[in-house]
């Protein structure tokens, strides 16, 4: 059963996203309406609406006569998205280095000192990592960048590949990358900030593209 703090449909959406994040739902897995309704204690109508919205967000593939399944991207699609993400987030870091004020820099340094930033626990570090990238984008002062990243399905990307990006050695590398990004931002060096962010995305890309073939369509 689900908690009742959100609407029923929103609860189902969040539960499925969490299931992707925790690898209970894997790329290509079918999502059967009656099974989900029974699991979450909701109506099939609520499940149907949740799947429709998840399809619009890029998490689910909904086909006539075949039903719903967790989206599974091809290796080529993944490469294309990683290339776009590298450019967009690198540009965002460059802008942040130019535009962040003292208050913004203070928010960044405070975030780096939180327990989650130093955690080796996947869930905690993931929360911090998402907040870090969102904050850099916010400091860029470009309101269009977050939407553009969402359009290239960054949310499903994070959820689908997090379980291979949150291994201990990957967390260690991510922390080193973040330190380099923060140093460049604190110095107000746009070129260094962009370079550090792009290198960070390339490190993630290398790990993602080494994933077993079953991760890809």
**Which pLDDT belongs to residue 107?**
97
Secondary structure (DSSP) of 34-47: HHHHHHHT--HHHH
Q: Specify the pTM.
A: 0.82
- The torsion angles phi and psi of 62, rounded to 5 degrees, stand at -115, 115
- Note the pLDDT tens digit of each residue in 94-143: 999 999 999 999 999 999 999 989 898 888 998 999 899 999 999 999 99
Mean pLDDT of the chain: 91
- Note the pLDDT tens digit of each residue in 36-51: 999 999 999 999 999 9
In order of start, what are the domains of the chain with their CATH numbers?
Answer: 8-70 (1.10.10.10), 75-215 (1.20.120.530)
Q: How far apart are CA 180 and CA 122, in angstroms?
A: 21
- The torsion angles phi and psi of 58, rounded to 5 degrees, stand at 90, 10
Burial 101-140 (b: 16+ CB within 10 A, else e): eeebbeebeebeeeebbebeebebbbebbeebbebbbbbb
């Amino acid at each position: 059963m689900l908690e009742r703090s959100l609407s029923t449909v929103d609860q189902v959406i969040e539960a499925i996203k969490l299931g992707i994040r925790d690898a209970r739902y894997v790329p290509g897995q079918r999502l059967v309406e009656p099974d989900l309704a029974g699991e979450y204690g909701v109506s099939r109508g609520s499940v149907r609406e949740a799947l429709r919205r998840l399809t619009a967000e890029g998490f689910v593939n909904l086909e006539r006569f075949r039903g719903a399944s967790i989206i599974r991207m091809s290796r080529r699609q993944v490469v294309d998205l990683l290339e776009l993400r590298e450019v967009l987030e690198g540009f965002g870091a460059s802008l942040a280095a130019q535009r962040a004020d003292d208050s913004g820099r203070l928010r960044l340094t405070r975030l780096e000192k939180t327990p989650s930033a130093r955690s080796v626990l996947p869930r905690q570090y993931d929360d911090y990592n998402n907040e870090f990238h969102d904050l850099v984008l916010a400091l860029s002062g470009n309101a269009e960048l977050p939407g553009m990243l969402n359009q290239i399905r960054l949310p499903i990307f994070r959820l689908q590949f997090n379980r291979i990006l949150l291994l201990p050695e990957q967390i260690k590398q991510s922390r080193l990358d973040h330190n380099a990004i923060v140093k460049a931002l604190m110095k107000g060096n746009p070129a260094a900030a962009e370079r550090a962010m792009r290198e960070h995305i390339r490190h993630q890309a290398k790990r993602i593209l080494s994933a077993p073939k079953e991760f890809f369509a």
